[in-house]
Amino acid sequence: MSTRILYIEDNLLNMRLVRKILMSMGYTMLEAVDGNSGLQMAAQELPNLILVDINLPDIDGLEVVKRLKEDTTLASIPAVALTSNAMHGDRDRCLAAGFDGYLAKPVARVELKNALEHFLKPDSTRMAV
């Protein structure tokens, strides 16, 4: 099975951009357009990695990652914030909320590629107890 990446994003242009990049790299992309459906999909699909927009229509990305990290079956999945709020302190706020990584939008292909390679570990390693 190919590596599956869930992207939680309400902006369809960003969704399309990231979809294009992930597909060109051979990843399978799962998509959710708000926080609650994203959490539901994460629990159902157990993706290898989750990309999360911060400004979502229901609960924000910081709340999404908080709930992911509180869930023992989901906590080990790397979660990377994607936000256009590229302000000073934003990165620290994301990492403090539980994100494993942070990328500023618009995301560059090479940055996304590097982040994925950094955070994607073999299942055997990731699931080790």
Which residue minimizes CB distance to Mn ion?
55
Total site size for Mn ion, rule CB under 5 A: 4
Whether 82 contacts 14, CB under 8 Å: yes
Is residue 53 near Mn ion by the rule CB under 5 A? yes
| 10 near Mn ion (CB under 5 A) | yes
Cβ-based nearer residue to Mn ion, 48 or 83: 83
Stretch touching Mn ion by CB under 5 A, among 23-31, 34-42, 52-60, 104-112: 52-60
Q: How far is the CB of 84 from Mn ion (least distance, A)?
A: 8
Among 55, 58, 73, 96, binds Mn ion (CB under 5 A): 55
User: Taking the complex as a whole, how short is the minimal distance between the CB of residue 125 and Mn ion, in angstroms?
Assistant: 32
Q: What is the 3-state secondary structure (H, E, C) of 49-116?
A: EEEEECCCCCCCHHHHHHHHHHCCCCCCCCEEEEECCCCCCHHHHHHHHCCCEEEECCCCHHHHHHHH
Distance of alpha carbon 89 from alpha carbon 68, whole angstroms:
22
Is-cis flag, bond preceding 106, omega within 30?
yes
Q: Which residues of this protein are in contact with Mn ion, per CB under 5 A?
A: 10-11, 53, 55
